[in-house]
Amino acid sequence: MTRVSIFHYATGDRMVKVSLPYGKCTIDLEIPAKNLIADPVKAKDLSAMPSVERATQEALENPIKCPPLSKLAKAGDKVVIAVGSIIRPGKFRQLILPSVIDKLYDLGIKHKFIRIIDAVGSQTPDSYDSWMDMFGKDILEKFKIFNHNPVKDCISLGKSEYGTPVHISKYVAKADLVIALDGIFPSNAGYTGGPKMFAVGTASLETINSTHISSCFYDDSSRIGRYKGNKFRDYLNAVGKKAEKESRSDKFFIINVVQNMKGDIAGIFSGDMIEAWGRACELADTQFKVEVPRVADIVLLGTPYPHGLTAFDLSSIMCFPEKMDPASIVRQGGVEIIAATLEDPLVEGTAEYKFVQIMRNAFDYHDVLRSGGEAERRCLEKGEIMPEGLSTAMRRARTLEYLDGNVLVVGAKQPGLARDILCRPVKSMKKALNIAFEMVGRDADIIVVPDIKEVIPQVKA
């Protein structure tokens, strides 16, 4: 993002020109310098590892609180590699997977016994083009990649210590060796990675919905970047531990990767899915957490590819400013302006489709919260599964309630879809900023965040 100071002769204001990421392009806008309370908020840039290949080999043979991969695998084993979906940006899959696969070959694992699962959870399945970005041509031509199916692919392994049903991919549960590769990014569970791969990425809809209930997901402790004392993360970890204990392999081997802002690998952490993940989070804290001076009235958000393409991802981005650790970076009743392409079509029958249908059929966000709360209470009382898409709709509606519905989406290629999820599509950033000023006043404090999913702004104490 560039910042250029400009004098606006018509108003006498000093203007700052910024460029917000918008898919694979940018959207330019001018902001009065007097309103901008922080430079565009970006994560720090950690140093790249000198040799990813050597670091991967070291991680496989010297994992954290876990036997080395050479002790977990043997000739004839059936291996499942679960990999984070396209919403985890970067080339970490292409950089890490070849070394992992070569190691399996060295241990006598045959090519035909290696299955790669795209751990999409209940989100829309990734496409072939997405896989080309994620894996590269070489892996895509050698292996058949599978999207996880949360409806058809799961089996029951009992319940977690919190009573959550543990239903995970039958391929994961029945494999002789399970490897999970994921990037570490800010999340309501503190960060992505760790047991989340099994509690969400390769879990059933029932398991996902059971951990995303309001009392858990929207507990005040369940904040982005808080990986200790996070109720939502505790529930996910419990599901992961139960799945590991009851699965054939008896031990999941995770590889969690921290990337810097250039997409280079800054750290590789492997081994026990909770201990290794925790170590990765420690490094992630130094990468993602940056200070801002105070809470803003208006937050401007960019969505670099692959973010902002779908209704689900756009609505997820909308929730981030409210859930930062330790506190929201936008005030209650403030405004969010999001530059997003919103170009991917809805796929009928998916969880995303059903979430949009719930939002579309509601009168407003109050209606979603009222009817959704009633449905959630009935399901919990009867021990039934919540309707698909409802938990997502309620989470989005809570953020809309916090913001009084003040979410403006600029550049949506499907403006009707933006309206369906109760956001307001606006054609230009200039117009959106003027609307925001009308809502909260011309003296509004503004924070600009080029990529809210790759930074954790923390309000200065």
Number of C-alpha atoms within 13 angstroms, CB side, residue 13? Answer: 13
Query: CB–CB of 179/80 below 8 Å?
Result: yes
Confidence at residue 387, expressed as pLDDT on a 0 to 100 scale:
83
Confidence at residue 12, expressed as pLDDT on a 0 to 100 scale:
57
Tokens of 227: 């990986």
Tokens of 12: 């006498």
- CATH number of the domain that residue 410 is part of: 3.90.226.30
Low-confidence ranges of the chain (pLDDT < 70): 1-12
8 and 127 both lie in a single domain: no
- CATH number of the domain that residue 271 is part of: 3.40.50.11440
CA quadruple 149, 150, 151, 157: dihedral, nearest 10: 120
Angle subtended at Cα 391 by Cα 390 and Cα 393, rounded to the nearest 5 degrees: 65
310 and 326 both lie in a single domain: yes
Final residue before a domain boundary, out of 261, 287, 313: 287
Confidence at residue 460, expressed as pLDDT on a 0 to 100 scale:
86
Which residues lie below 8 Å from residue 412, measured CB to CB, with a gap of 6+? 340, 341, 342, 418, 425
Segments forming the whole domain that contains residue 30: 3-34+293-459
pTM to 2 decimal places: 0.90
Give the gyration radius of the chain's Cα atoms.
22
345 and 446 both lie in a single domain: yes
249 and 301 both lie in a single domain: no
Specify which residues 154 forms β-bridges with: 169
Angle subtended at Cα 410 by Cα 317 and Cα 388, rounded to the nearest 5 degrees: 40
**What's the structural domain count of the chain?**
2
